Amino acid sequence: MFKLQNYINGELVAPNSNDYIDNYNPSTGKIYSLIPDSDSSDVKAAVKAAKHAFPKWSLTPKEKRSAIMLKIVELINKNYDKLAEAEAIDNGKPMWLAQKVDIARAASNFEFFATAILHFASEAHMMEDKYVNYTRRDPLGVVGCISPWNLPLYLFTWKIAPAIAAGNCVVAKPSEVTPMTAYLLSEICIEAGLPAGVLNIVHGLGPKVGAEISENDAICAVSFTGGTSTGAQIARVAAPKFKKLSLELGGKNPNIIFDDCDFDKMLATTMASSFANQGQICLCGSRIFVQRGIYDKFKTAFVEKVSKRRVSHSLDSNAQQGAVVSKSHMEKVLSYVELAKEEGGTVLTGGTQVHLEGEYAGGYYIRPTVIEGLSFDCRTNQEEIFGPVVTIMPFDTEEEVLMMANSTEYGLAATVWTENLTRAHRIANELDSGIVWINCWLVRDLRTPFGGTKNSGVGREGGFEALKFFTEPKNVCISVG
């Protein structure tokens, strides 16, 4: 059985404990590799390597850091299909999706920040002719990056790339549920000539590896993406140590459809925004509010399309939807369908496990599910499900839909469908949300701020926001009078 290894001080190494965790293929339900069950001693070794590498890396000219990162991009592109297949097998998503989204984005994350750092300028503030202020932006030192399983390499590199571009050294932990592409990235970093200790990847469980990253005094900032309760746990540990924190957390995003929308475009995009990546994207719209004038038309067309969606294993090129990431996650998602029924909901399509045949019989497949008849404030409509399950609800007025859309503890992303430009701006203004898409979904310009309000997080990633997070401003004031 293939054993993944940690990447510490430029080398691939076994965990100190020599213990391993089973890694499952969600498409088959079978164990197919072993993950280091690292502990705090492995994290400490990674921190030591990062501390040692920091002075040199932080003083390496940004053009040179950029060139090494562009070499990583080249190698990601060279290994494109291998990475996409690994991601699909590890996560359960269709391989075409890993090709189109995950690996493409991992390459562009490195490329974007390798070039962004060349344009990241200091600010200067003149005080008449007497004083000049300039603001240095220095790297922080050793930083921690912790990422989830839904977009494994995509979100891992979204943190690592700005951190190392800005001159920091990193101790990173991918999700133990989907560690494979992070392991392949360590091989790529070695081949690209990234100096030892600049990036260290420690595999293992959250309460062991993640907890040590949050706690370790030599790690001065933590960039985390994952669930809201894990984010709260990290904040409890890291905040009293005054570490910088960037927390990208859960969501329960509204998709608001007005009756004047471009119906066909809305319908096609709503299929994707509901079920892409098995509904396991923090930006998926899980609560669909439809204005009453087109509610029945939408319901009929949507349910028909959803019921035809092909669920299959990740290597089936015709799969529109793959397996959800784990058995426990499948059980959690299906338990929400039962809860929805108890809360008075009607399952219009889906709601059950899909059983494939042959070697895929043990896989974790769920039929895409549409539920109606629920109140906006029931648990099904308030709690994050993070699977291929959406609810549909009618509304009459803007005030009513805004109240329902803003009623959850979350505020990550929202989608609005209307041809009325004034209304679109008005609604965007009133939504409690870090991101609003109007007549589109998941369109990402990497320069824009990314993140949520309320319990969806603290801080923003993306563009210069990320470079600001990974640097410390220092103002220098000079008398020139």
Smallest gap from Cβ 199 to ligand NAD, in A, equals 16
Number of H helices, E strands in the chain: 16, 25
CB of 110 or CB of 386, closer to ligand NAD: 386
Smallest gap from Cβ 237 to ligand NAD, in A, equals 7
Smallest gap from Cβ 353 to ligand NAD, in A, equals 20
Question: In b/e form, how buried is each residue of 213-243, taking b as 16+ CB within 10 angstroms?
Answer: bbbbeebbbbbbbbbbebbebbbebbeeeeb
Smallest gap from Cβ 231 to ligand NAD, in A, equals 7
CB of 192 or CB of 219, closer to ligand NAD: 219
14 touches 36 (CB < 8 A) = yes
Q: Which two structure tokens, joined as six digits, stand for 457?
A: 């997080």
Bridge partners, 126 (sequence order): 132
Radius of gyration of the chain (CA): 23
Bridge partners, 13 (sequence order): 6
CB of 45 or CB of 281, closer to ligand NAD: 281
d(CA 33, CA 78): 24
Query: What residues make contact with ligand NAD under the rule CB under 6 A?
Result: 146-150, 155, 173, 175-176, 206-207, 210-211, 214, 225-227, 230, 233-234, 248-251, 282, 384, 386, 412, 452, 456-457
CB of 167 or CB of 457, closer to ligand NAD: 457
Q: Catalytic pick from 282, 284, 461, 465?
A: 282
Q: Catalytic pick from 85, 248, 372, 384?
A: 248
Q: Which two structure tokens, joined as six digits, stand for 361?
A: 């019989």
**Considering only CA atoms, which of 170, 190, 211 is closest in space to residue 40?**
211
201 touches 183 (CB < 8 A) = yes
CB of 170 or CB of 347, closer to ligand NAD: 170
Which secondary-structure segment (H or E) carries 330? Answer: helix 327-342
d(CA 40, CA 199): 17
d(CA 20, CA 266): 46
CB of 406 or CB of 453, closer to ligand NAD: 453
CB of 225 or CB of 380, closer to ligand NAD: 225
202 touches 174 (CB < 8 A) = no
- For residue 176, the one-letter residue type is E
From residue 253, how far is each of 102, 331, 350, 386, 439 by CA, in Å?
21, 22, 21, 11, 15
261 an active-site residue?
no
Q: What is the DSSP letter of 461?
A: B
CB of 227 or CB of 362, closer to ligand NAD: 227
Smallest gap from Cβ 411 to ligand NAD, in A, equals 10
Q: Cβ-count burial of 422 within 10 angstroms (0-12 exposed, 13-18 middle, 19+ buried)?
A: exposed
Q: Which two structure tokens, joined as six digits, stand for 352?
A: 């059950």
Smallest gap from Cβ 326 to ligand NAD, in A, equals 9
135 touches 120 (CB < 8 A) = no
Residue 145: helix, strand or coil by DSSP?
Answer: strand
Smallest gap from Cβ 456 to ligand NAD, in A, equals 6
d(CA 54, CA 194): 13
Smallest gap from Cβ 338 to ligand NAD, in A, equals 20
248 an active-site residue?
yes
Q: Active-site residues: which are they? A: 248, 282
